[in-house]
Amino acid sequence: MERLSRSATASLRMRPGAVNPHGRGIFPAMYADIDRILISHERIAEKVRQLAGQITADHAPDKLNGGEVMIVPIMTGAMIFCADLIRNIPIAMQIGLMTVSSYPGQSVRSQGAQLLGKKLGNVRGRHVLVLDDILDSGGTLGAVVPAVRAAGAAAVKTCVLLRKNRPVAMQTPVDYVGFDIPDEFVVGYGLDYNDYYRNLPDIVTLRPQAIAGQKKST
């Protein structure tokens, strides 16, 4: 894990995955809020390709008994993971959406999974793969998987990019896992704090001031 000094944080601005599309001069305060990079965008990209390879092999036509595939990202955190993953899975698929909130606003611990909405389309007979950014208490998958089953899916599998190294997460059944990480609050690559930081390309921890101060980054 990289611990960032102030100057290293500044040099983040030069890293290819951290390029500000508006040019070098305007760097959002959000980069100064980073404590350390837990997983770089290069490692994420490599892992996403590996996961996609496994998922593609497991959903080959002879394994589907004529059924079709539906991918269900859990919004909003799984949005970026889903976008990258599905472009590496060369099979016909439909996308359904589930919106769940468990870290509302400025929470850094789960407040319990709340199903806020769904736009699943026709799940009946589909082989559904539920995607989430991170597995923590298991409450989110515990709410979504039964709901997808109840909608008539032929099979439901689960995939998370991250899993926190804590007993409740390690004991939650999940079919595909990207990285096991320490039990810390992380943001970036879709994960937020108060809806900010989702657009960071790396998965990072935040400086305590960024959380305690409830500072807004732009």
Q: Residues 4, 35, 55, 103: which binds ligand 5GP (CB under 6 A)? A: 103
Structure tokens at 15: 């890293």
Structure tokens at 187: 């943001």
Q: Which of residues 64-83 bind Mg ion (CB under 5 A)?
A: 77
* 69 close to 129: Cβ distance less than 8 angstroms: yes
Stretch that binds ligand 5GP, among 42-50, 59-67, 126-134, 208-216 (CB under 6 A): 126-134
Nearer to Mg ion, 46 or 195 (CB): 195
What track of x and - describes contact with ligand 5GP for positions 151 through 190 (by CB under 6 A)?
A: ----------------------------------xxx---
Segments in the chain forming alpha helices (H)? 6-11, 41-58, 61-64, 79-86, 139-150, 167-170, 208-212
* 30 close to 200: Cβ distance less than 8 angstroms: yes
Nearer to ligand 5GP, 56 or 217 (CB): 217
Query: DSSP character for 109?
Result: S
Nearer to ligand 5GP, 107 or 209 (CB): 107
Nearer to ligand 5GP, 12 or 204 (CB): 204
Alpha carbon distance 130, 98 (integer Å): 9
Alpha carbon distance 67, 73 (integer Å): 19
Is 136 one of the annotated active-site residues of the chain?
yes
Alpha carbon distance 31, 25 (integer Å): 13
Alpha carbon distance 177, 148 (integer Å): 20
Catalytically annotated residue among 33, 84, 133, 136:
136
Q: Residues 192, 207, 215, 217: which binds ligand 5GP (CB under 6 A)? A: 192
Contact positions vs ligand 5GP (CB under 6 A): 74, 77, 102-103, 110, 113, 132-140, 185-187, 191-193
